[in-house]
Chains A and B, each alone.
Chain A
Amino acid sequence: MGTNRTDLMQGTLELLILKTLSREAMHGYGIAQRIHQAVDDLLKVEDGSLYPALYRMEARGWISSEWGTSDNNRRAKFYKLTRTGRRQLAAESTNWERIARAVTRVLEAN
């Protein structure tokens, strides 16, 4: 029986993070929870893989971070989207839609 869950590629994870942060600033755990809720177990996302992605995105200037206090009064690192990140989200969303359309077309043709 084939698996119904797909391993997530790095670029896709970054797109999910950008989209999640477009709504509000969050700490890493919050981002992970939101992504898990959104993909509803259809995609396999290892929680830890989120953090190297966040650090890469911050190095690129797509997101910024700051230490704050979580709901349970613990020190947590919050991330938010930068202006560059918003532009990147728009570009990647468009690209993703284009790829999805192209692949669908090929699959339907065969």
Chain B
Amino acid sequence: MQKLQELFKRKQTIEKEVNEELRFHIDMQTNEYAQMGISTETSREMAEQRFGDLDRIKKECVRIGSGASVLIQLLLSVFLLNLLVGLVLRLLVPESHVNRVGDVMMMIGGLGVLLLYIKQAGASRFRSDGGLKLDLNPGSPPVGFDESGRSPFDRVRSDD
């Protein structure tokens, strides 16, 4: 349900999330400089300078994020409309050939919504250290993890 709601994310929400994400980056960089013994104020200035033009980058991220969101929303609306119209035709019109049209429209609409949902729900939850967390069976190692707890990503050999 949460994933379906994400499909209808409004621009204000995207802006808020972009802001939070970029702030997190600058704060992390600030902390790193501060741990080197640099004052907090100077650390923040250095972090912001290293980051680049924050306002420009924020606007660009919102523009890209909103564009993708609008397309998904449009597709979802079309599929939901198909589903609804198909249902109405199926329930309210007695003629069998119209019922068949209704069935096809419902199938297209339902399939479309399902595919969009699967696309959005594709990401697994993440561990705090950046690894994947697949908590299908709390008592045993998740699918793909070995007995030592290493994820499939941990086992990927580096080319470096």
Give A contacts to B, CB under 8 Å. 22-30, 32, 38, 46-49, 51-52, 55-56, 58-59, 61, 64-78, 80, 82
15 A-B residue pairings within 8 Å (CB atoms): A23-B156, A24-B154, A25-B132, A27-B24, A29-B24, A38-B160, A51-B25, A52-B60, A61-B119, A66-B123, A68-B127, A72-B28, A72-B31, A78-B126, A80-B126
Contact present for A78 and B60 (CB under 8 Å)? no
Total CB contacts across the A-B interface at under 8 A: 104
Chain A contact residues: helix, strand, loop or mixed: mixed
Contact present for B122 and A77 (CB under 8 Å)? no
17 other contacts beyond A68-B128, A71-B129, A72-B31, with CB at 8 A cut-off?
A: A25-B130, A47-B52, A48-B22, A48-B52, A49-B52, A51-B18, A51-B22, A51-B61, A58-B68, A61-B119, A65-B123, A67-B17, A72-B28, A73-B128, A75-B24, A76-B21, A78-B130
Min Cβ gap B6→A in Å is 10
Contacting A at CB under 8 A, from B24-80, are: 24-25, 27-29, 31, 50-54, 57, 60-61, 64-65, 67-68
Min Cβ gap A79→B in Å is 9
